[in-house]
């Protein structure tokens, strides 16, 4: 079994490029050029230099002593929360802005849920002096106010989306609509391993720096480059794809993907795509998708804006279908508790997205001498209001 993309842009049964005709030229151009651009020596040099000096990589691999003691296993945290702008998203936006420059694009559009991808995109647009428009659902604008302010401060235009559940899926629809209307001068920076081929593969490659560093850092600390388990939360799946990338074809590494169960898988208010999804097409890609019996997309729900999406990237559908990754879904309640626990055991306030990954320790036992790496995808500053209200800390 192969877990990398094939010639046609599929991971097993999933992927491809299901797009309106108006977008053929854009997607064709990207598909033809992305590998030669990103594998070019001068591109790699500029990308790596920005990751080091601007993003702050390598991020630490931190041994979480108190958490390890509590759950009686060896837990390491990959500190993506320490990236510039506070999450892993910027690894991808740095790569894509360099790509957009090579393609001579003058305008950038993006969608955002939690606002982390919007902030990461607005940041690299400021860095390169390129105009930036970010689409964001009206509900997300309200629950992620600090990130909306950051985008505005960085000079981006934030467009509020009023359709559907007013969340990430709807923002993505609007961004695609914009791209159809501005196909020549605009590059669409997609924020996860979703969308038509070549986006899932391209974004996974930009994020793969995470697993490359984990290998090097573990070798130094534990004298072995492979952990026993890697845990990551999955919205679209980019932080997980980055954390898994160099281990995908090594079966000794158990991959654990954590989805948002919302108020419970059977509650009707959930975003647990692997548990509830069927094969379908969303945002240009064939993948698992939450849908009604007649194929209409179901409105997802999660307390976490970054996981509130009715699909997953095609790589993750393939990992699920083939059994290569273990999928676990975590409720709002359990995620919030895990976020509070990490804050008070390790002095690290995680994003609510990331908190879902930490809730796994209450659900599942690990061997005492196992090495478990949790990808700490982002920090919780943007979520403080939600945490405070949830726990009535004021």
Active site residues: 89, 111, 377
Q: Which is nearer to ligand PLP, 89 or 324 (CB)?
A: 89
Among 74, 79, 89, 286, binds ligand PLP (CB under 6 A): 89
Q: Is 132 in the site for ligand PLP (CB under 6 A)?
A: no
Q: What is the 3-state secondary structure (H, E, C) of 152-184?
A: HHCCCEEEEECCCCCCHHHHHHHHHHHHHHCCC
Pairing of strands 107-112, 131-137: parallel
- Nearest CB to ligand PLP, comparing residues 74 and 274: 274
What number of chain residues touch ligand PLP (CB under 6 A)? 21
354 binds ligand PLP (CB under 6 A): yes
- Residue nearer to ligand PLP on the CB measure, 307 or 371: 307
Contact range with ligand PLP by CB under 6 A, out of 60-68, 181-189, 274-282, 351-359: 351-359
State how far the alpha carbon of 33 is from the alpha carbons of 25, 28, 30, 145, 198, in Å: 12, 9, 5, 37, 10
- Binding flag, residue 114, ligand PLP (CB under 6 A): yes
Longest dimension (CA), the chain: 56
Rule CB under 6 A: say whether 342 interacts with ligand PLP. Answer: no
Q: Is 144 among the residues that bind ligand PLP (CB under 6 A)? A: no
**In this structure, how many other beta carbons lie within 10 angstroms of the beta carbon of residue 62?**
17
Task: Choose, by CB under 6 A, the member of 351, 359, 360, 373 that binds ligand PLP.
Answer: 351
Smallest separation (angstroms) from ligand PLP to the CB of 15: 16
The CB-nearest residue to ligand PLP is 378
- Answer yes or no whether residue 353 interacts with ligand PLP by CB under 6 A: yes
Check residue 137 for interaction with ligand PLP (CB under 6 A): no
| Nearest alpha-carbon partner for 209 in 370, 65, 49 | 49
CB nearer ligand PLP, residue 74 or residue 241: 241
Contact call for residue 26 and ligand PLP (CB under 6 A):
no
269-to-103, 303, 307, 389 alpha-carbon distances in Å:
41, 10, 13, 20
Site string for ligand PLP, 362-391 (x = CB under 6 A): ---------------xx-------------
Structural contact between residues 224 and 147, judged by C-beta atoms closer than 8 angstroms = no
* 81 SS3 class: helix
Q: Classify residue 74 by its DSSP letter.
A: E
Q: How far is the CB of 112 from ligand PLP (least distance, A)?
A: 8
Cα(85)–Cα(81) distance, integer angstroms = 8
Alpha-carbon span 136 to 169, nearest angstrom: 9
Please give the residues from 217 up to 276 whose contact with ligand PLP meets the rule CB under 6 A: 233-240
Residue 196 makes contact with ligand PLP by CB under 6 A: no
- Rounded to 5 degrees, what angle do the CA atoms 192, 95, 127 make? 110
Assess whether the previous peptide bond of 13 is cis (omega < 30° from 0).
no
Smallest separation, CB 78 to ligand PLP (Å): 12
Please tell me whether residue 94 binds ligand PLP under the rule CB under 6 A.
Answer: no
- State the residue for tokens 């994020």: 207
Q: Could you tell me if 79 and 59 are in contact, meaning their C-beta atoms sit under 8 angstroms apart?
A: yes
Cα(283)–Cα(125) distance, rounded to whole angstroms? 24
Name the residue nearer to ligand PLP (CB basis): 192 or 211: 192
Distance CA 320, CA 278 (A): 12
**Per-residue interface string for the shown chain with ligand PLP, residues 176-195, x marking contact by CB under 6 A:** ----------------x---
C-beta of residue 266 within 8 angstroms of C-beta of residue 259: no
Task: State which residue, 58 or 236, has the beta carbon closest to ligand PLP.
Answer: 236
Closest CB 176 distance from ligand PLP, rounded Å: 17
| Choice between 74 and 209, CB closer to ligand PLP | 209
Beta bridge partners of 280: 287
Which chain residues interact with ligand PLP by CB under 6 A? 87, 89, 114, 116-117, 192, 233-240, 306-307, 351, 353-354, 377-378
């Amino acid at each position: 079994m192969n877990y990398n993309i094939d010639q046609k842009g599929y991971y097993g049964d999933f992927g491809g490029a299901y797009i309106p005709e108006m977008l053929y030229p854009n997607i064709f151009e990207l598909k033809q050029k992305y590998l030669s651009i990103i594998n070019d020596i001068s591109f790699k040099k500029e990308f790596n230099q920005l990751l080091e000096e601007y993003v702050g990589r390598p991020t630490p691999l931190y041994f979480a002593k108190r958490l390890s003691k509590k759950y009686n296993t060896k837990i390491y945290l990959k500190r993506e929360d320490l990236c510039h702008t506070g999450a892993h998203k910027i690894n991808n936006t740095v790569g894509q802005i360099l790509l957009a420059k090579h393609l001579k694009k003058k305008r950038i559009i993006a969608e955002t849920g939690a606002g982390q991808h919007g902030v990461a995109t607005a940041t690299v647009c400021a860095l390169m002096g390129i105009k930036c428009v970010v689409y964001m659902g009206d509900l997300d604008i309200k629950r992620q106010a600090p990130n909306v302010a950051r985008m505005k401060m960085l000079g981006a235009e934030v467009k509020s989306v009023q359709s559907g559940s007013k969340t990430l899926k709807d923002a993505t629809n609007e961004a695609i609509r914009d791209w159809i209307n501005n196909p020549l001068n605009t590059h669409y920076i997609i924020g996860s391993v979703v969308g038509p081929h070549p986006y899932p593969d391209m974004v996974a490659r930009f994020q793969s720096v995470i697993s490359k560093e984990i290998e090097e850092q573990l070798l130094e600390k534990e004298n072995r480059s492979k952990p026993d388990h890697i845990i990551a939360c999955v919205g679209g799946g980019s932080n997980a794809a980055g954390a898994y990338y160099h281990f995908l074809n090594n079966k000794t590494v158990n991959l654990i993907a954590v989805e948002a169960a919302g108020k419970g898988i059977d509650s009707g208010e959930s975003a647990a795509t692997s548990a509830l999804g069927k094969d379908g097409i969303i945002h240009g890609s064939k993948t698992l998708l939450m849908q009604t019996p007649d194929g209409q997309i179901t409105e997802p729900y999660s307390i976490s804006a970054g996981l509130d999406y009715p699909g997953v990237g095609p790589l993750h559908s393939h990992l699920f279908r083939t059994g290569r990754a273990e999928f676990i879904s975590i409720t709002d309640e359990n995620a919030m508790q895990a976020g509070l626990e990490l804050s008070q055991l390790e002095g690290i306030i995680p994003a609510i997205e990331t908190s879902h990954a930490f809730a796994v320790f209450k659900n599942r036992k690990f061997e005492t001498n196992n090495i478990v790496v949790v990808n700490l995808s982002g920090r919780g500053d943007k979520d403080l209001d939600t945490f405070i209200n949830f726990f009535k800390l004021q």
